[in-house]
């Protein structure tokens, strides 16, 4: 009996709020004022489990036009899988609220929030928001997952970007089980970098494109989040869908650029293999008299591509991740797509 009560968590305190174990609460942390004198808040939903466990933050829309993560987090919060949560889940579906309202990646100070960490109390709006996120949220967590999409009219295959140097982060990435894990250096000013610096392993998930929902990316993220939570002991592992395939691990990626200016037609989709010399697109002039082939000069799989038909010479067209065996990687990604499709039924938005 004594043992049972010892396992009950203390109430969780954040700002002025206290969240009792076994309860959920929406919390608003004021950042500054909007020009109409409404408050600009960081809005979070906290699920404070009855029993002790890890503290995980889930953040989305640090770039205001990247919306997939909002739906991802909604599905996680609505799921019965977190009913008997151990530890604490802190969900921030819209970090850059003003960016979201403006359908813009940036804050009104034209700063990129994900280049503004660790921020400061007295800096620009982005610096203040970054500082609040780090000191009020991330610092109180043991782990984090930050959700993104492609930017600049580009679409990304669901992938985790991760610096392989942190063992704990790599462990989380493998537990997440995305189609692709891409080795990527930590960028200066990013949330991932700032969190890792204070010892909080943080995953960066990329999938889909800005201003759109992408069902494959949303499902891959929801399932990955549950797998991470199971691996951290926050939910029972029977409640998460175990990945049947090991992710494709890519040590590097590079953009293949437009050889000329014109109207671009793609002949290669996300997840497909590319071999040196393959013709994977065509750039024509609008009158159709001049056609230039887009020839792959790299080998690997396509993990991102532009969605824009109008391109200038040098524009980024295909992001190609180098892998030792592109054909095998393509087959693995196809299997991931099939699995993800089967795991949740489509059609009725109230059921997922
Ligand atoms: Zn982003």
Q: What is the pLDDT of residues 117-159, one digit of tens each?
A: 999 999 998 999 999 999 999 999 999 999 999 998 999 999 9
pLDDT of residue 52: 96
Average pLDDT over residues 38-53: 95
Ligand 1 mean position to 22 CA, how many Å?
32
Distance from the alpha carbon of residue 287 to the mean position of ligand 1, in angstroms: 36
Going by C-alpha positions, the residue among 89, 71, 92 that lies closest to residue 81 is 89
- Mean pLDDT across the stretch 181-189? 92
What band does 183 get if pLDDT is binned at 50, 70 and 90? very high
Ligand 1 center–CA 5 separation, angstroms: 42
Domains along the chain with CATH numbers: 2-243 (3.40.630.10), 253-341 (2.40.50.100)
The pair phi, psi for residue 173, each rounded to 5°, is -60, -40
Q: How far is the CA of 31 from the centre of ligand 1 (A)?
A: 21
The position carrying tokens 């960028």 is 187
Q: How far is the CA of 63 from the centre of ligand 1 (A)?
A: 5
pLDDT confidence of residue 103:
95
Å from CA of 60 to ligand 1 middle: 9
Residue 86 has pLDDT above 50, yes or no: yes
Mean pLDDT of the chain: 92
Residue 33 has a pLDDT of 87
Residue 348 clears pLDDT 70, i.e. is over it: no
Ligand 1 center–CA 152 separation, angstroms: 10
Distance 65 CA to ligand 1 centre (A): 8
User: Is the dihedral angle over the CA atoms 93, 98, 101, 103 positive or is it negative?
Assistant: negative
Say how many Å lie between the CA of residue 189 and the centre of ligand 1. Answer: 13
Given a contact cutoff of 8 angstroms between Cβ atoms, the answer to whether 294 and 263 are in contact is no
Distance between Cα 147 and ligand 1 center (Å): 7
209 CA → ligand 1 middle, Å:
9
Centre of ligand 1 to C-alpha 285, Å, is 32
Distance between Cα 149 and ligand 1 center (Å): 6
Nearest alpha-carbon partner for 100 in 164, 55, 43, 16: 43
Identify the band that residue 175 occupies on the pLDDT scale cut at 50, 70 and 90.
very high
Q: Using alpha carbons only, what angle is made at residue 232 by residues 345 and 208, rounded to the nearest 5 degrees?
A: 45
Would you place residue 1 in the very low, low, confident or very high pLDDT band (cuts 50, 70, 90)? very low
Is residue 343 very low, low, confident or very high in pLDDT (cuts 50, 70, 90)? low
**Interior/surface letters 13-33, b for 16+ CB within 10 angstroms, e for the rest:** ebeeeebebeebeebebebee
Q: What percent of the chain is predicted at pLDDT more than 90?
A: 82
The number of CA neighbours under 13 Å toward the Cβ of 333 is 27
What token pair was written down for 270? 């996300």
């Amino acid at each position: 009996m004594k043992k049972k009560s010892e396992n009950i968590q203390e109430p969780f305190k954040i700002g002025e709020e206290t969240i009792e174990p076994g309860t959920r609460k929406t919390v608003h942390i004021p950042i500054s004022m909007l020009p109409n004198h409404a408050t600009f808040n960081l809005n979070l939903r906290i699920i404070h489990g009855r029993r002790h466990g890890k503290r995980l933050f889930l953040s989305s829309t640090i770039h205001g036009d990247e919306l997939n993560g909002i739906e991802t987090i909604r599905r996680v919060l609505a799921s019965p899988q977190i009913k008997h949560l151990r530890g604490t889940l802190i969900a921030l579906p819209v970090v850059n609220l003003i960016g979201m309202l403006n359908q813009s990646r940036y804050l009104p100070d034209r700063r990129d929030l994900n280049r503004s960490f660790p921020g400061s109390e007295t800096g620009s709006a982005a610096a203040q928001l970054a500082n609040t996120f780090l000191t009020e949220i991330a610092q109180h967590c043991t782990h984090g997952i930050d959700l993104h999409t492609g930017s600049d009219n580009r679409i990304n295959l669901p992938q985790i970007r991760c610096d392989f140097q942190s063992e704990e982060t790599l462990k989380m990435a493998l537990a997440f089980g995305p189609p692709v894990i891409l080795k990527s250096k930590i960028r200066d000013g990013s949330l991932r970098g700032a969190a890792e610096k204070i010892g909080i392993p943080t995953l960066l998930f990329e999938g889909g494109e800005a201003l759109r929902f992408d069902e494959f990316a949303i499902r891959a993220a929801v399932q990955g989040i549950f797998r991470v939570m199971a691996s951290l002991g926050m939910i029972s592992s029977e409640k998460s869908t175990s990945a049947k395939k090991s992710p494709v691990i890519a040590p590097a990626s590079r953009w293949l650029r437009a050889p000329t200016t014109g109207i671009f037609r793609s002949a290669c989709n996300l997840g497909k293999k590319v071999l040196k010399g393959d013709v994977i697109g065509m750039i024509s002039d609008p009158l159709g008299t001049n056609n230039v082939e887009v020839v792959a000069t790299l080998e690997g799989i396509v993990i991102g591509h532009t969605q824009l038909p109008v391109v200038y010479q040098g524009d980024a067209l295909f992001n190609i991740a180098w892998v030792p065996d592109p054909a095998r990687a393509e087959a693995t990604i196809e299997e991931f797509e099939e699995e993800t499709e089967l795991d949740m039924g489509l059609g009725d938005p109230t059921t997922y």
